Amino acid sequence: MSEQFEPNIVAFLCNWCSYAGADLAGTSRVQYPANIKIIRVMCSGRVNPLFVVNALQQGADGVLISGCHPGDCHYMEGNFYARRRLKLLKELLEFIGVDPRRFNMSWVSASEGHKWKEVVEKAVEDARAAGPFDQFRRRQIGW
């Protein structure tokens, strides 16, 4: 068997759309790579850009953030804030030399189990192509 790099990806999903969509993928027995590990937050707007940086520091090779479709946010505007903040973050990461493929954002609704699979597969492929991440790993942070 050829040794394929298996990236470790941390995902932040909003409770109302994407987390429910990922649950639906499970209920529908949609299969996708196990590289992704999900942290539930109430809204994608809760995701502090520093969480993304922190995940990369802690040894994740990629980060995925997923929320409700723009306009459908359970909290009205949270995903707009997320989009604005994380777009800037993506540019900043690229600026400081982090492969932009390590950071993905998506909009997955509670009824899009199949879309969730596609989103995960893309994030895994992207992170795999970017390779193991160790640019931030010089020091370990203990909480």
Partner 1 sequence: MTEKPKLGVYICHCGINIAATVDVEAVTEYAQALPNVVIARNYSYMCSDPGQLLIKNDIKEKGLNRVVVASCSPRMHEPTFRKALQEAGLNPYYLEMANIREQCSWVHEDREAATAKAKKLVAAAVAKVRLLEPLTSREVDAEPAALVIGAGIAGIQAALDIADAGFKVYLVEKSPSVGGRMAQLDKTFPTLDCSACILTPKMVDAASHPNIELLAYSEVEEVGGFIGNFEVKVRKKARYVDVSKCTGCGDCAKECRLAGRFPNEFDEGLGKRGAIYLPFPQAVPAKYTIDPEKCLFLTRGKCGKGPKCVDACRAGAIDFEQKDEIVSFKVGAILVATGFDVFDPVRKPEYGYAGYPNVITGLEMERLVSASGPTGGNIVIHNGEEEIVPKDIAFIQCVGSRDQSVGNEYCSRVCCMYTAKQAHLVKDKIPDARVRVYYMDVRAFGKGFEEFYDRVRREGIRYVRGNPSEIFKRGNKLVIKVEDTLTATPLEDEVDMVVLAVGLEPRGDARKIIELLRLSQSPDRFFLEAHPKLRPVDTATDGVYLAGCCQGPKDIPDTVAQAKGAAASALIPLARGKVAIDAQVAEVNEATCRGCGFCVSICPYSAIELVTVNRMGHMVEVARVNEALCKGCGSCSAGCLSNSIQPKSFRDRQILPQIAALGGTR
Name the segment binding partner 1 (CB under 8 A); options: 23-31, 95-103, 122-130. Answer: 23-31
Supply 71's token pair.
Answer: 């306009």
Options 90, 104, 108, 112; binder of partner 1; rule CB under 8 A: 112
Task: Give residues with Cβ within 8 angstroms of 106, minimum separation 6.
Answer: 18, 64, 65, 66, 115, 119
Q: Is 74 in contact with 16 (CB distance < 8 Å)?
A: yes
126 contacts partner 1 (rule: CB under 8 A): no
Rg (CA), the chain: 15
Note the residues at the interface with partner 1 (CB under 8 A). Answer: 6, 8, 10, 15-17, 19-20, 22-23, 25-27, 29-34, 37-43, 45-49, 51, 54-61, 68, 71-78, 81-82, 85, 109-112, 117, 132, 141, 143
